[in-house]
Amino acid sequence: MTFELTEDQQALIDTVRDFAADRIAPHALEWDAAKHFPVDVLREAGELGLGGLYVAEDYGGTGLSRADAVLIFEELAKADPTIAAYISIHNMIVWMVDSFGTDKQREEWVPQLASMESLGSYCLTEPGVGSDAAALVTKATREGDEYVLNGVKQFISGAGTSALYIVMARTGAPGARGISAFLVPGDAPGLSFGLNEKKMGWNAQPTSQVVLKNVRVPAESRLGEEGAGFGIAMKGLNGGRLNIGACSLGGGQAALEKTVSYLKSRTAFGGRLADKEALMFDLADMEMKLEAGRSLLMRAAEALDRNDRDALRLCAMAKRVATDAGFEVANQAIQLHGGYGYLHEYGVEKIARDLRVHQILEGTNEIMRLIVGRMLVEG
């Protein structure tokens, strides 16, 4: 298996790199400090086709592969992991509507989401339910031609700004089979939001609770069949894990490049720091971690594109390896910058703060290990 880029992929990367370098990178530190969510820049990304990357073209999607998408998210994350990660989450929402929605749902939502004129949020996690997502307690009660939703969702990216929330809620018995998915518009009566969370990183995207109090939606707003919501949520997460892994590699690559530049310009003990053998070894280890993660990520992406039965295992492995690699490289970049690495203006501490959460979301890395271990044991 080879991962040589095609001409089309290289042209795609060049376009995304130019956009990210021009419209995202110069503002990343400012957005982080001000906790500014750049909706206008996201709409510009939508104009480039970045809002519906692996969505069918009939309703405005770009129609790319998962392998193409991981290349794109790595480039975006070199400019700002926070913005890249939000675009990843948004793409998961659009893909879920396109893949599991009715023609009416697709016609209503996909064009405005793919263009990023409207934004989307994924609502699975709850205050008391994280990794054990099948234990969620948000309820959706059928009343005639409507469902009434009650519950609280936690750690929701884009909350308060998004036009569409895909909400997983319980319609049946305890466990995964009792969960259904619903399309809840952002202006639905009874929908409200908590305060923007004060976070370690990801400051340039809002994160808060989504509160549903007697929110009524038409029965036709259910996404897929009743009881199919957990499966839909997990299928969305497979691609999300690849994307967040790519965001980690992009952030780690940016941190590595900053470090190489810094060590080449800094002198101590009679010469450039870049010429010190011990520091060369550190740089080499950083590069190897990123390349290993990149190779596994691309293998997993191609398996998901083929709908390979091994895709779940490979996506879990790639997510764990890539997110660990990205954070470890960023953390080492701080060390190699010395005291300057701790300063906001040098950018590496921001990258480390942003990448730390990637080891937690889209399924913690401990859950990734559990998935792989179970598949080994169960054969």
Write out the catalytic residue numbers.
Answer: 362
d(CA 257, CA 177): 47
* Closest listed residue to residue 71, CA positions, set 249, 258, 191: 249
Q: Is the dihedral of CA 79, 83, 84, 87 positive or negative?
A: negative
Yes or no: say if 57 and 105 are a contact pair by the CB < 8 Å rule. Answer: no
* Closest listed residue to residue 97, CA positions, set 205, 237, 231, 222: 222
* Closest listed residue to residue 349, CA positions, set 330, 327, 322: 330
∠ CA 288-375-325, rounded to 5°: 20
The residues pairing with 148 across neighbouring beta strands, listed in sequence order, are 141, 216
Angle between helices 66-79 and 277-305 (to 10 degrees): 140
- Say how many C-beta atoms besides its own lie within 10 A of residue 131's C-beta: 13
Tokens of 63: 């129609």
Residue type, position 220, single letter = E
Tokens of 3: 């991962």
d(CA 259, CA 346): 10
93: left (phi over 0), alpha (psi -120 to 50) or beta: alpha
